[in-house]
Chains A and B, each alone.
Chain A
């Protein structure tokens, strides 16, 4: 029994394959989904999604969205998604540092919120790389 996983972003289809198990992080914690799970509709926070196919774990960084599971078909709609293998470690470290610097010198509510968001996204991507290695 496998799950048909489909990850969609506004710009492209990131993933469309069969997997054995997924672990996704929602606003209220992480949930693991195995085949024949009850139908669920959840909101996904900025975080990493772990996929297991053939006893191998893949990580994908997701930037917030929704997930829906029905009858062994999972559809994940997110603002942006990156596969862990596609992320460049150097670039992500730099992005993280820039995000942290921006947060420190952000003024005004909007800038702080944006800086926080960018920081969380950068952290998620770093986690995605670390989780594989």
Chain B
């Protein structure tokens, strides 16, 4: 009984523990409230609480470190494929030109995003650019319309909210099987069949390096527009100088060419986006585990202070108890 009273007394003299890093603990309903208010309004947090918090932060650090390594290995695998596919769309651009400024009535924006989260800001940038393109096109004239084709869950979640009526096609779970050209060409075929378009703009994140992902837009024009631009001269004027063989009409060849160009650029875009996703996830998980490490350091300091405080109070109790008995 006496000891309990002295313990309460002792707490009054306990060093003031700075509760700032752990104020969240008090308000969080998950943690048992093992602290109490002394008579002078001091907060005294028990070591148990701090220890629990340290355990969970350490687990978070382990998990994010593992996720980073997984993302790094996936990135390595897909990076070689991406680099090999980069040479594919360049001849098309050399022949047909990349004309983002072509004046067209029906625009289709193909937004490529990831299915899983925790990959930094790449999906938000893609969606922002898609919305920007939409606004740009509708601002230049009333008869212009823009439709969306969405690949990936994350863009779907963001675009369904405000542009539901403009969405033509949604495709998810792209990366269930490893990406290959046949799968993407089937996809491209679906899109071409179901959507009317004058120009297709593919929005994706180009993988420049492990830390830099540049949002890019690739434009594929429909064959009629290509004809129109070729006749008016300019960049596509050279197209007319080519003798076109291998089919009945030039139009038929151009149609096939446009489809092939679309599937090749789609393939490259999907691969680049996958690379960017893994790279972004790597850096997000890396900064997350570093933050967890910092938090763990701060918690360790707090834990030590708490521990020393409780030891000090015990000593004070014992000593004051002993001195009370003596004198």
Contacts and interface: CB of A to CB of B under 8 A. Distances in A.
A and B part of one assembly: yes
Interface of A: 8-13, 26-28, 31, 38-45, 65-66, 68, 70, 75, 77, 79
A94 B84 CA distance: 30
Given A11-B84, A11-B85, A41-B95, A28 B260 contact: no
Contact of B260 (A11, A31, A42, A65): A65
A16 to B, nearest CB: 9
Contact of B244 (A10, A12, A41): A41
A40 B84 contact: no
Interface string B81-96: 1001101100110110
Nearest to B248: A28
Interface in B193-230: none
B181 A68 contact: no
Contacts of B181: 9-11, 79
B246 interface: yes
**Top 4 nearest A-B pairs by Cβ distance?**
A26-B246, A10-B181, A42-B246, A43-B246
B246 A27 contact: yes
Interface residues of B, number: 26
B89 to A, nearest CB: 9
Given A28-B247, A43-B256, A77-B264, A10 B95 contact: no
B241 interface: yes
Contacts of B267: 10
A8 B88 contact: yes
B245 interface: yes
Q: Interface SS of chain B: helix, strand, loop or mixed? A: helix
B257 interface: yes
Contact of A8 (B81, B91, B180, B247): B91
A27 B260 CA distance: 16
A66 B260 contact: yes
From B85, B91, B257, B264, name the one whose CB has the most chain A CB atoms within 10 angstroms.
B91
B143 interface: no
A68 B87 CA distance: 15
A68 B95 contact: yes
A39 B253 contact: no
A68 B91 contact: yes
Contacts of B242: 39-41, 68, 70
B77 to A, nearest CB: 14
B15 to A, nearest CB: 67
A42 B244 contact: yes
B243 interface: yes
Contacts of A44: 246
